[in-house]
Structure 1
Amino acid sequence: MVYAIVDIETTGGFAGKSKITEIAIVIHDGEKEVETYETLINPEQLVPSYITGLTGITQQMVDGAPAFADVAAEINDILSDKIFVAHNVSFDYSFVKRALESEGYMFNNKKLCTVRLSRQIIPGHRSYSLGNLCESLGIQIDNRHRAGGDAKATAILFKQLLEKDEDAVRAALKHNSKETILPPNLPKTEFLALPESPGVYYFLDAQSEVIYVGKAINIKKRIISHFSGTSKNNRNQAIRNEIHHIDYELTGNELVALVLESQEIKRLWPKYNRSQKYIANQWGIYRYEDRQGYIRFNVNKQVKGLKGLIQFNSHADAFHYLMNKVKEFELCPKLSGIQKANNECYDVALGYCRGACGGTEEASTYNLRVEELIKSFSDEDRSFVILGEGREEDEHSLILVEGGNYLGFGFCHKEVSISNIEDAKTLVNNYKPTVEIEHYIQSYINSPEARVLEFS
């Protein structure tokens, strides 16, 4: 096997926005270096001052260098059919792959990460950063934080790893090893122990602080997608470099996972959970009466002090919910804000509307059906338990709502009888409601698969 040991310098941390400023490649046959390549590259964008401070690469230096397009063919030839090796390989590989593919080259080399290999083959070191690891092993780095110096040091490190345990290196190349996609600081044993079940997972940093909370139907599969390229997000590169541990909590089903995820994000405020850190604008369905006496509806953002008939997390959710209700109660889509027709609504001909928009149905008759629809909105006085699959085969999950208010969730044996709300309260842990949880519950109880136990 022939290895291409690569190091790059860039204008920033993400391949989607930043560009390569320098690349060095050491070709290694497993015993010795056989070829080297090194060049500065004009990124065709500004080099930030903090990058210059770290690497010493200035704007003036790259302005006179070739653009990547000028050297792409040569780099592609050098890397072709080689195993791509780097210290924290996903970083270097993502930049090189993106740059080559932008020039029309297909790039899908096998890859190896010397961070992960070092953790496995030479465990017990205080730090596995290239500088600290090389210092511990007595490997001298000339020209630190420049591509040439770091690539040569990585080549020496890689040779030592091969000499200590070549079998481990070969094993890491197997497609199903997952070695090349895992975060560099995550112990492989933790990944292998992850369940393929519904639940909530936690990414922890070196200080065991939670930096991200997520939910999944299959925890292991979802975590793989964070780092395999099937989940494309600029945050992933930053997150993966900070992950040192993964924890999880099984929930038995997706609804409880959604509920627990929302609660944990509000409790922990992880730095990489942006979507639920801010209270979303709620939307509501509102009623009003026109000059002819017809009760009408519209969908609008919820205004402080003015509560709608029913609340949703998005305009689309509210609109589609109302549209289905209008069909169910044979109301006029024009009067309900669903259609914007100049004359009578388009649904008169289809038989969904009885002609109220054309004045052929009196307001008093029409409004009776409107009031029936409004009654169907109201869950304010409902108390119920939502039953779901538990964490084990003989277990139920329970989500408890009393008087329209979410109280919490829990688990119980399937043989446990729940005959009243007081029984249910002994089986759940109390939690604070969130806007998201109320939305999840409302969406679920209106679905055909809902298993709801009502209390009078």
Structure 2
Amino acid sequence: MYAIVDIETTGGFAGKSRITEIAAYIHDGEKVIDEFQTLVNPQQVVPGYITGLTGITQEMVDSAPTFSEIAEKFNSLLQDKVFVAHNVHFDYSFIKKAFEQEGYLFVNKKLCTVRLSRQVYPNQRSYSLGNLCESLKIPIENRHRAAGDAKATTILFEKILEENPDAVRNALKRNSKETTLPPNLPKQEFLALPEQPGVYYFLDEKSNVIYVGKAVNIKKRITSHFSGTSKNGRNQYIRNEVHHIDYQLTGNELVALVLESQEIKRLWPKYNRSQKYISNQWGIYIYEDREGYKRFNVSKKIKGVPPIIDFNSHADGFHYLMGVMKEFELCPKLCGIQKVTGECYDVKLGNCKGACCGEESVESYNSRLEEAIKSFDNDDRSLAILGEGRNEDEQTLIVIEKGAYLGFGFYDREQPFSSLEEAKLLIDLHKPTVEINNYLNSYINSADAKVVELK
């Protein structure tokens, strides 16, 4: 038994928007045996553009029942039915969310008539409901109203059942991805994805890159984007727009992080939010107090006053300063770590020499602080960072010249290099980003880093 459903809503994401209309046709595989139609009071404002699209006004829904009032009846109708819709994830996510808010568990099997149509009617100009119905000569009345669209979807589903019942049976198999994949993504494209580290690209119908991501396991990560009811509005929009997936293997996670950052800066995909901000807006500043002690402070950058060292966030600067404080035995209070009156808490613990309460001289404390400042200087070594390649005969190579990231590449394990100039011939040159520098600095300072100094 099937429940062929269409809904209208106040917006495109189930986490924020609400249902304004529902229609469902119950189908036994041969004919419609029951139906359900109603406007729904969303208990929120119906935007003007939604009214323009659907014709559903605020006045129409204000007098309609809430979902709470129809939930029991609608749930009984859908029990043990396969949930069918055109772009099923959209309708299913709203219905599931609405039921969850009323305390119902909703876990029906799903079928997507977009994906089924792609199998049964290949090479169509478009698989939107309107264009598909026009192409297949399916009558569609009251477009963008739940009953009209649900009725057209029902006729489409009947045609699919008649022409290729195996497509429906196969889609309902336990291991089939047809019910979870985005409506416009070819299944074979998904099945061909590697389970290796790399960077992946979501492309829209015009092959524009709309999102770039990195993964230790590309296939597993992409599956997580589309499995279940997304609680992320961005994933919902990506799901509806993605038509193809491309990828580049990187051999290891560090190179994936580096390449992802480069690609986001190069392509500027519309659904990538991270790394789309002005970096290094925080810094560590130094000043002298009335007693002559030099103090550190993590602060937002001050126009015209360069900091000793800068960071993406307050947290980055704070954690960096914590490490410097411990290494050089500086006072937590004079570093701005502890906001206390009087002596810092570390005096009694023996971790502070007492500059905060006059027990350590100005000269002694400031001398140690100056040594700490010298450690702020960037590492000016030239380094090769080695990593696992895309196959067992290959390694990755990231080159840093005098503290500056140059680029990365892949080379044969049997092709040794012994100098900076030789290493540079094995890589593609790229511009550094703040994020890349952070990734590399963190890796170089890790216990398991594979780093070779170059001359």
- Normalising to structure 2: TM-score of the pair? 0.95
Q: Which moved more, 1:185-194 or 1:394-403?
A: 394-403
**Structure 1: gaps (5+ residues):** none
TM-fit CA distance, 1:306: 3.6
What is the CA-CA distance between 1:356 and the residue it aligns to?
2.4
| Aligned positions of 1:46-125 closer than 5 A | 46-125=45-124
Aligned to 1:217: 216
The equivalent residue for 2:259 is 260
Distance 1:74 1:255 in 2: 53
**1:348-397, Cα deviation, whole Å (9 max, x unpaired):** 22232222222222233333432333333322522212222222223222
| Native 8 Å contact 1:251 1:257 kept in 2 | yes
Partner of 2:149: 150
Q: 1:178 to 1:303 in 2, by over 3 A?
A: farther
* SS of equivalent residue, structure 1 residue 39: strand
* 1:167 counterpart SS class: helix
SS of alignment partner, residue 417 of structure 1: coil
Aligned 1:301-450 pairs, distance under 5 A? 301-450=300-449
Match of 2:184 in 1: 185
| Cα distance change of structure 1 residues 293 and 452 upon mapping to structure 2, 3 Å threshold | farther
Correspondence 1:180-259 to 2 at 5 A: 180-229=179-228, 232-259=231-258
The alignment partner of 1:177 has SS state of coil
The code of the aligned residue for 2:159 comes to Q
State the percentage of identical aligned residues.
Answer: 71
Shift in Å at residue 8 of structure 1?
A: 0.5
Structure 2 distance, partners of 1:358, 1:230, is 58
Report which stretch shifted further, 298-307 or 438-447: 298-307
* CA distance in 1 between partners of 2:38 and 2:114 (Å): 24
Residues of 1 paired with 2:230 and 2:398: CA distance? 30
Q: Residues 85 and 111 of structure 1 are in contact (CA less than 8 Å); yes or no, is this contact kept in structure 2?
A: yes
5+ residue gaps, structure 2, are: none
2: CA distance between counterparts of 1:117 and 1:385? 51
* CA distance in structure 2 between the aligned counterparts of 1:418 and 1:369, rounded to whole angstroms: 41
Does the CA contact (< 8 Å) of 2:83 and 2:109 recur in 1? yes
For 2:339 and 2:53, the matched residues in 1 are separated by: 60
* AA at the equivalent of 2:385: I
Code of the aligned partner of 1:178 = K
| Secondary structure of 1:175 counterpart | coil
1:309 positional shift: 3.0
How many equivalent pairs are there? Answer: 455
CA distance in 2, matches of 1:314, 1:77: 52
> For 1:361, what is the secondary structure of its paired residue?
coil
- Report if aligned partners of 1:4, 1:79 keep a CA contact under 8 Å in 2: yes
**In 2, Cα distance between equivalents of 1:247 and 1:414:** 27
Residue identity opposite 2:364 in structure 1: T
C-alpha displacement at 1:231, in angstroms? 5.7
Deviation per residue, 1:319-375 (Å, 9 max, x gap): 112212212222211111111121221112223222222222223333343233333
Is the Cα contact below 8 Å between 1:386 and 1:452 reproduced in 2?
yes
Q: SS at the partner of 1:401? A: strand
Q: Cα gap change, 1:51/1:203 in structure 2, threshold over 3 Å: closer, same or farther?
A: same
| Cα distance in 1 for residues equivalent to 2:227 and 2:101 | 20
Q: SS of the residue aligned with 2:348? A: coil
Q: 1:15·1:95 contact (CA, 8 Å) conserved in 2?
A: yes
Per-residue deviation, 1:205: 0.9
Write the deviation string for residues 25-47 of structure 1: whole angstroms up to 9, x where unpaired.
Answer: 11111111111111111122222
Mapped partners of 1:427, 1:80: distance in 2? 61
- Contact 2:252–2:387 at 8 Å: present in 1 too? yes
**Which residue is equivalent to 1:451?**
450
Q: 1:209 to 1:415 in 2, by over 3 A?
A: same
Alpha-carbon shift at residue 107 of structure 1 (Å): 1.0
